[in-house]
Structure 1
Amino acid sequence: MDIQSDTLAEDELATITGCLIHSGQIGWLNRNGWKYVLTRARRPVVGRVYARMKLAGVKPSAENVAAEVWSLDLSKIG
């Protein structure tokens, strides 16, 4: 099972934006109202949960973006 990063991989961002060049990706993100941060190399970084919500048509906000809650269940051990 592959563990996904909390941010989109370069190929995922290229697929969404249709651009391989970072400046083109930044332009697409700006035109479409996406939030992102830039690395020191000016590569745009987009959060995975944020991207999933945007692609699903949900407007991300502090209320609807939450970490998955889990608890340790030891009831079946023994």
Structure 2
Amino acid sequence: MSAAEQIGHQTETLEDDELVAITGYRLPSKQIAWLKLKGWEFVTSGANRPVVGRVYARLKLAGVKPSTTNAVAEPWSLDLSRVG
């Protein structure tokens, strides 16, 4: 269990063990090959490790084609009408 999970906080990007669970590979080069083959968007870190966004991964795993419209939280407005 990662430090982020121990304190109940998830990072914006997937942890190493989450990438292993998704790709089935521990080696970053194999993870990158799998992500490319499956059409996943990712960037590589300075250490040439794949970095995948958490929201993107959730959408992708749910079968939703991630886009800028469904990856952004719904707009909201502050309603102060009941403050008195």
Residue 38 of structure 1 corresponds to which residue in structure 2? 44
Correspondent of 1:19 among 25, 29, 33:
25
Residue 4 of structure 2 corresponds to which residue in structure 1? none
Q: CA deviation at 1:24?
A: 0.3
Residue 72 of structure 2 corresponds to which residue in structure 1? 66
Q: CA deviation at 1:33?
A: 0.1
Residue 3 of structure 2 corresponds to which residue in structure 1? none
Structure 1: stretches of 5+ with no match in the other structure: 74-78
Q: CA deviation at 1:46?
A: 0.1
TM-score for both structures, normalised by structure 1:
0.85
Correspondent of 2:9 among 3, 14, 35:
3
Q: 1:5 to 1:71 in 2, by over 3 A?
A: farther
CA RMSD of aligned residues (A): 2.0
Residue 82 of structure 2 corresponds to which residue in structure 1? none
Aligned length: 74
Matched, 1:48 2:36: no
Residue 76 of structure 1 corresponds to which residue in structure 2? none
Correspondent of 1:57 among 50, 53, 63:
63
- Which structure has more RCO (C-alpha within 8 Å, separation ≥ 6)? 1
Structure 2: stretches of 5+ with no match in the other structure: 1-6, 80-84
Which 4+ residue blocks in structure 1 deviate beyond 4 angstroms? Answer: 68-73
Q: CA deviation at 1:72?
A: 8.0
Identity of aligned residues (%): 58
